[in-house]
Structure 1
Amino acid sequence: MSGHSKWANIKRKKGKNDAVRGKITTKISREITIAVRMGGADPTGNMRLKLALQKAKENNIPKENINRAVQKGAGTLEGQSYEEIVYEGYGPAGVALTINVLTDNRNRAAADVRHIFSKYGGNMGETGCVAWMFKNKGIFIVAKDAADEDTLMELALEAGADDIKSDGDAFEIITAPEAFDDVEKALADNHIPTEHAQITMVPDNMITLGGEDAQKLETMIDAFDELDDVQDVYHNGDMPDDTDEE
């Protein structure tokens, strides 16, 4: 992950979210509905729902939207039936991308994703063509003024974290998914607030991009994000901070 700034990605993406509030509300609500449908309405025993609700809080999603999404997932309100699909492929300079989709129309979703890959100089591949390049990891972001580095490192590693990195004005704690709850509890018990916490896909290696390739990748990711069916886009392109994107 040399040179890769996860926190820069998150901050930039959150900034973009402000400009597309309606889409973000729809996507997070859809994720809540699916999480409830798969694991029940109690976030205590449903990690996916817990993370979706946290994402809703970070993005200031109205409570009525959250409640409606939960009710749809629980079956007390009529809602659409969504299917989860992961598309994979390559972008500019051979960057690997995985596109996570929640859709009520598989044919439409596949056509839209394939179109974006083709339009911006990429290629959609077969299932599994790039998935092996990514690992599921927990990420916690802690502001540097919220904790001493040595104390935070000792606390996080004792709780089962894999690594802690200094990234600009924040610390980035990386964990295996199964250690996520333990690290979260350790932080909470020691009154250390997190600016962001999620389980996400982290690439094993990065491809450093610059200039035109970085701009092309950014444009492609923006186009994917504009699709209603697309929930998340993961890639292994390492771009300058002014073009970084998740």
Structure 2
Amino acid sequence: MSGHSKWANIKHKKEKSDAKKGKIFTKLGREITVIVKAGGPDPESNSKLRDVIAKAKANNMPNDNIDRCIKKASGELGADNYEEITYEGYGPSGVAVIVETLTDNRNRTAGDLRHYFDKFGGNLGQNGCVSFLFDKKGVIIIDNSEEELEEDAVMMDALDAGAEDFTANEDCFEILTSTDNFSNVRDALEKKGYSFASAEIEQIPQTTVTLTDEKDLLFMGKLIDSLEDNDDVQSVWHNWEE
């Protein structure tokens, strides 16, 4: 998910991902592989695996696909080796960009990302050059477009579960948690019967940048699209107010 998880942005991404489900599932499969190798195949004892399973389900990844990825990563079907690398840089007019990747070839990934940034008016920077402009938070989005849920009830359930903040938008509820408490809050809400449009750890910008130049707007959009289309890229975060 790019930028802050406003519901309109999420719906846009959902529509976009529907046309690219195969690519989305491939990226989720890589994430499952890394997490299972690090913490084991049992979601009861591996909270990060529970997190990514919830994320996969929110993206409509079939259970068979999820189970196959877990078995492959645990050695039953043989697994690839991926390395987690985060890149930071600037888009047009200094827009801050964070790119999270899982790669089996860091030279290829770095070269691809540098090419995208250079081509679309930005530049790839050093680690730490923009991450201080973001807060890492757990973000849970509950769809209420059918207006079936009571705001007060959802808010109390979220706060009782340990959420840090709660926002009611026009057709959804947005719940923020600390990264440490994200799994507990999500699990508690799931047990209450809530389903999630999105539930993951995100990089939330402290302030946003508005672009007015038409070339900057065009290039920023193309930069994000190019990054998200790359198989090695898992997530793209930025402080552009789209």
Instruction: Calculate the TM-score normalised by the size of structure 2.
Output: 0.89
In structure 2, the CA distance between the partners of 1:188 and 1:51, relative to structure 1 (3 Å rule), is closer
Consecutive unaligned residues in structure 1, runs of 5 or more? 240-246
Q: Tell me whether 158-167 or 31-40 shows the greater mean CA deviation.
A: 158-167
Verify the 8 A CA contact 1:146 1:193 in the aligned structure 2: no
Q: 1:235 to 1:39 in 2, by over 3 A?
A: same
Change (3 A) 1:117 1:39: same
Of 208, 211, 218, the match for 1:215 = 218
Aligned positions, number? 237
Give the alignment's Cα RMSD to 1 decimal. Answer: 2.0
> Aligned to 1:45, what secondary structure does the other structure show?
coil
Q: Which residue number corresponds to residue 89 of structure 2?
A: 89
Partner in structure 2 of residue 236 of structure 1 = 239
Kept in 2: contact 1:147–1:192 (CA 8 A): no
Q: Does 1:99 align with 2:65?
A: no
Which deviates the most, 57-66 or 118-127? Answer: 57-66
Q: Hey, what's the Cα distance between the residues in 2 that align with 1:5 and 1:70? A: 28
Distance in 1 between residues matched to 2:157 and 2:56, nearest whole Å: 27
Task: Specify the alignment match of 1:128 in structure 2.
Answer: 128
**Unaligned stretches of 5+ in structure 2?**
none
Partner of 2:119: 119
Q: Residues of 2 paired with 1:12 and 1:122: CA distance?
A: 24
**CA displacement, residues 51-99 of structure 1 (integer Å, 9 cap, x when unaligned):** 2222222333344432332122112222221111111000022110111
Higher deviation after alignment, 30-39 or 177-186: 177-186
Is 1:196–2:198 an aligned residue pair? yes
Where does 1:50-61 land on structure 2 (aligned, <5 Å)? Answer: 50-61=50-61
Q: TM-score, normalised by structure 1?
A: 0.88
Deviation at 1:211, TM superposition (A): 6.0
Residue 116 (structure 1) shift: 0.5
CA distance in 1 between partners of 2:42 and 2:148 (Å)? 30
- 5-14 or 103-112, which deviates more: 5-14
Residue 180 to residue 172, structure 1, CA distance change in 2 (3 Å): same
Aligned residue type for 1:231? Q
